[in-house]
Structure 1
Amino acid sequence: MSWVSGVFLGVLLLMIVLIGSLLASLAKQGDERKNFIKRKTMADSFVLVVGMLMIDILQSFYQIYIKGGEPVHLNPFMLLVWISVIFLIAMLVNKKRFGN
């Protein structure tokens, strides 16, 4: 394992710990508010990830049909890291907006 993959693995682990701590802090709030924040965060994350994937599809289309080259796709590991970053940011925003 190279140092680059170690850094990415560390970032992913950090995101998992931060998301877990945010979910644990939501447990202190009432059920309805906690569920609303989680649903809103998941919906926001889903929209952003679908938008990111649509941009990747458009870039691949441009690369293949306009430039005549090979498509460059997202690395699955990097996609997972980006999804966790998007979820973390959405969770922080929604918790600040709808939380205490």
Structure 2
Amino acid sequence: MKKEILIGFAVGVIATIFGFIFAIQIFGHSDDWGTVIEQAITEGFFTKLMSIGALLNLGAFFIFLKKNKDHRAKGVLISTVVILIITMVIKFFN
């Protein structure tokens, strides 16, 4: 059971990373990811990019539910909550 939750957590983190990269490619005004991230931090929309990146977790969550992999879906949900907490910490302490 713990292994299934850990797999779901890893899928959630990886999906968030891919979503974040995808958001950078769409909304960034440069081909250099470092420049886009630096610009996002200075202009204050870095947390918005993180939130958009976490949207891919929604798809992973429902795929796991459809396949009756409830523990993996729980892991995706946990990773989404962790990303939420990290986003809030960055938002309010920056």
Q: TM-score, normalised by structure 1?
A: 0.42
Q: TM-score, normalised by structure 2?
A: 0.43
Looking at CA atoms only, which structure, 1 or 2, has the larger radius of gyration? 1
